[in-house]
Amino acid sequence: MTEHARGHTHSAAPEAALREGGRRLTPQRAMIWEILRAEPDTHLSAEEVAARVHERMPQVNASTVYRNLDVLVEDGLVLRTDLGESRAFFELAHEHAHHHLVCESCGAVDHVHDDVFADVPARIHDSVGFRVGGREVTLHGICRQCADAARDPRANERDS
């Protein structure tokens, strides 16, 4: 689940992609990019990104972060994912889909490989003509930890 840990294609600063749209790679933008790159497995909300930015560049305004996240998403460099409950998260755009499993109990976000969906998109397309998004899917449910905790109350010690 950490196969893409070390820098490759997408980790290079995204100057090119930005400049295509007449955009500039400002220090603030670079910082946001860097923050997302540094935590590939965390799903950061806009607010959390803003907080991270603020730690390192206190003078940067939250609105700048919001604006830049929008820009990066618009240019396809960053992916905005809705995890439900009005929680939108941001992460670097990947080549291939990885899907999100949001635990309804503890809020944790697991990942699944695209494989598990097998031919579901095809079946959906066949039955209703809907083309499931090229990107990410979010499922809700109960993660292993919470399921275990519910099954064996004693295991609660590691939870809240």
Binding residues vs DNA (CB under 7 A): 18, 22-24, 26-29, 45-47, 57, 59-64, 66-68, 70-71, 88
- Report yes or no: 136 and 84 within 8 Å, Cβ to Cβ: no
The binder of 127, among DNA, its own copies, none, by C-beta within 5 to 8 A per type, is: its own copies
Selected range binding its own copies among 19-27, 36-44, 57-65, 126-134, rule: CB under 8 A: 126-134
Selected range binding its own copies among 4-12, 20-28, 69-77, 79-87, rule: CB under 8 A: 79-87
Selected range binding its own copies among 7-15, 35-43, 58-66, 105-113, rule: CB under 8 A: 105-113
Phi, psi (5° rounding) for residue 48? -65, -40
- Report yes or no: 75 and 18 within 8 Å, Cβ to Cβ: yes
- What lies within 8 Å, CB to CB, of 117 at 6+ separation is 99, 137
- What lies within 8 Å, CB to CB, of 110 at 6+ separation is 100, 101, 103, 143
By the rule CB under 8 A, 101 interacts with its own copies: yes
